Amino acid sequence: MLGAEIAALLLFSVIIVLLMAGYPVAFTLGGVSLLFAVAAQAFGFFDPSYLEALPSRIFGTMNNDTLVAVPLFVFMGLVLERTRISEDLLETLGLLFGGLRGGLAFSVVIVGTLLAASTGIVGATVVTMGLLCLPTMLKRGYDPQIATGVICASGTLGQIIPPSIILVLLGDVISSAYSQAQLKMGNYSPDTISVGDLFVGALIPGLILVGLYVLYIAGVAIWQPARMPAIPLAERQLARSSGFALRLLKALVAPLVLILAVLGSILAGVATPTEAAAVGALVMALAKRELSLSRLHEIMSGTVRMSSMVFMILIGASVFSLVFRGLGGDDVVHDMLTSLPGGAFGAMLVVMLLMFLLGFVIDFIEITYIIVPIVAPVLLAMGLDPLWLGIMIAMNLQTSFLTPPFGFALFYLRGVAPESISTGTIYRGIIPWVLLQGVALIILAIWPELVTWLPGLVYGD
């Protein structure tokens, strides 16, 4: 029915506009969808029986073991944010590599990688490194564009390197979409995709991205050494006392133990991501026993607030999904994507471009729950690999997190950067790193095996 299809597209457009205007995500999704459902029913092209599935959807969310990992990973991230783990890492690694041209930039990338592999809280990582590293790098004579760019880029590695919250959420959504796609194709015993599969599949792409960052820093250090000077030898020797090795070891213990406990247990097959998140949360609680009760209360309150936001968005997205489907929106999307020139490649290109643009103005959680459930079943039915699709989406969203003028990471850094650093400097500084992420996406597009090989090896698929 043409009226229903127009209403579906209008529903999607209104929600995007309201989200861009800053209205609360969960209530916008649920409230606007219900208003459209009532109006469409009045005009006779919406069946209210679709909404009868909402209680079972919410009950299914409550019983979803995978989503239990969300508050646990958030807890881990907030413990890292509220303790000196990040500061100790940055200070000690800065002294360790400071003798090299670009040594401080290398340190930022390494710390960003370690923090990404310990938690998935991007905003906290960018703010922490901005507060601690940016003044030091500027004082040492680093080009402001290099300094701001490497901090923003390294701080967003938590989007793609597991354990990442976006991979937990994407894993749940992609799994459901993959089951839908297989059922439509007549496979009534569908294969499954787990969050653990996405975690393992993201390791090599994440390391490729880190490698590209390191190569870029090394290239700039060689060809433009004045932009990244080394710390003077006398100053390093003064700071690196006889107890430096022990200090370095202490700084590395907590994140490395956490990485081993979480990722190691998943790769070894002895724990699911949810179980590994519980282990990680326990490790952090034991490792930082000096946490005061007041600070622990702050961390737990922050965990509850952030987790509640995620689950409220999930409930609102469930309402939107039911109404959108009841209006025939999924058929509209299917027809649009399958009619594009280039087949699966053309459809994938359009979807990635849409997500990239939407990533400028709305959060990755919203894209995960609004866009991915609509387009993923169509793309998967066209023969795309679900693991590869999930990782491509995750890295694409990470890229949009950095891209001017609306990249969220840029705003995080702008909030803590000195007034002497202009917004234009931050924007110009991030451009090479966005291009590097584009290179990583092209590499994964050409060689999907970089995503699928390791999960097949670990899980024997």
pTM beyond 0.95: no
End-to-end CA distance of the chain: 43
- Residue 457 CB partners (closer than 8 Å, separation 6+): none
Is residue 154 within 8 A of residue 129, CB to CB? The reply is yes
Q: How many CB atoms lie within 10 A of CB 105?
A: 29
Ordered DSSP codes for 75-127: HHHHHHHHSSHHHHHHHHHHHHHTTSTTHHHHHHHHHHHHHHTT---HHHHHH
* Rounded distance between C-alpha atoms, residue 311 and residue 309, angstroms: 6
pLDDT value for 211: 94
Here the tokens at position 138 are 């500027």
Here the tokens at position 374 are 């609509």
- pLDDT digits (tens), the chain, 461 positions: 567 778 888 888 888 888 777 777 788 888 888 998 888 888 887 788 888 888 887 887 777 777 777 777 777 767 766 666 767 777 777 777 766 788 888 888 988 888 777 665 666 677 777 877 788 788 888 899 999 999 989 888 888 888 777 888 888 889 888 888 887 777 766 677 778 888 889 999 999 999 999 999 999 988 988 888 877 665 555 555 656 677 777 777 777 777 777 777 777 777 777 777 777 766 666 655 556 677 778 878 888 887 887 788 888 888 888 888 888 877 777 788 888 888 888 889 988 988 888 777 677 777 888 888 888 888 988 888 999 999 999 998 888 778 876 677 887 788 778 888 888 888 899 999 999 999 999 999 999 999 999 888 877 65
